[in-house]
Structure 1
Amino acid sequence: MKEVKIESTFYVFETFDELPNEAAVLMQKAFEARDKAYAPYSNFNVGAAILLDNGEIIIGSNQENASYPSGLCAERTAIYYAGSQYPNAKVLRMAISATSKNKPTQSPIPPCGACRQAIAEYEVKQETPIEIYFMGETGKIAKSMSLANLLPFIFDKSVL
């Protein structure tokens, strides 16, 4: 047996004002999407915005359901819409923001496991990395240069 060490690299912006302009615009769209979330059960609103290589910006918000597994996260809402409406476009970057009515969200909140897997599918399909910026309602913003950085052991079509 041998030990294998895996490292991930993230960039952290202390404030929204430190973001590059393109990322700030996208994060502002994520804020707008977050405000459209339907989250009466968790009180946890999430918004996502995706920039495609054709210049389109796609937004999505989490949509809950009384039958909990039937809801959909903001990231998957956005990426599936992008895939269905612009199947040949590449996803360049994604911005995510989450807020809770129950407590302050001041640290970066990354995509859940299911969303990481969904984003991985598109990153593998397009053969280029997707930059991901994520934050709470306020505070620091984290940036990952690719989904593979967030999910180093990707499950994809190569194992099927």
Structure 2
Amino acid sequence: MYRENKNVVVPGVTPEQFKELREKALEARNLSYSPYSNFRVGCCLLTEDGTFVNGANVENASYGGAICAERTTIVKLITSLNNPSKRRQWRCLAISGDSMDTCITPCGICRQFIREFAPLSLPIVMFNGDGTKCLMKTLEELLPLSFGPDDLIH
């Protein structure tokens, strides 16, 4: 199931970009505000123009007010763009947690949130705690039979 990350090929992502994506996803965990769960998650998004955007989970004493790393990253990207047409131009999304044994996956609400802005073919790479193991799936594999913007009647 998990592979060493040196064996992973992500369509449209150079080996150098993959290495930087991995490093930034791991480093993004340091941005986490997780005093309640101590469950740090980092995320990095690579856009079509080669920009890296990172984020981390932010918890709240009112647990429902917490926001996951994936949504933090996407919100940063969406709200920082002066060109709305670039909102859906992504190459790859990567996440990391602290577990050395497993690669965490996006939660259900994050999968749906990603679906709002990304194509179903978007590669999502999930790393273990030191980035030596990873799992890559497309958004469609993580969210089969999904409902998205194109399903709404205009």
CA contact (8 A) 2:120 2:139 kept: no
Aligned length: 141
d(CA) in 1 for partners of 2:50 and 2:30? 23
After superposition, where does 1:54-93 map in structure 2 within 5 Å? 54-86=49-81, 87-89=84-86, 90-93=89-92
1:18–1:142 distance in 2 versus 1, CA, 3 Å: same
Q: 4+ residue runs of structure 1 moved beyond 4 angstroms? A: none
2:134 matched to which residue of 1? 141
Does residue 50 of structure 1 match 2:40?
no
CA contact (8 A) 1:60 1:74 kept: yes
Unaligned runs of 5+ in 2: 9-14
d(CA) in 2 for partners of 1:111 and 1:128? 14
Q: Provide TM-score, normalisation by structure 2.
A: 0.82
Q: Provide the secondary structure at the position in 1 that maps to 2:40.
A: strand
Q: What is the identity, as a one-letter code, of the residue corresponding to 1:142?
A: L
134, 148, 152: which one aligns with 1:156: 148
Instruction: Give me the CA root mean square deviation.
Output: 1.9
| Bigger Rg, structure 1 or 2 | 1
Identity among equivalent pairs (%): 36
After superposition, where does 1:90-129 map in structure 2 within 5 Å? 90-99=89-98, 104-123=99-118, 127=119, 129=121
1:23 matched to which residue of 2? 18
d(CA) in 1 for partners of 2:79 and 2:20? 23
Unaligned runs of 5+ in 1: 1-10
d(CA) in 1 for partners of 2:147 and 2:79? 22
User: What's the offset of the Cα at 1:12?
Assistant: 4.2
6, 10, 13: which one aligns with 2:3: 13
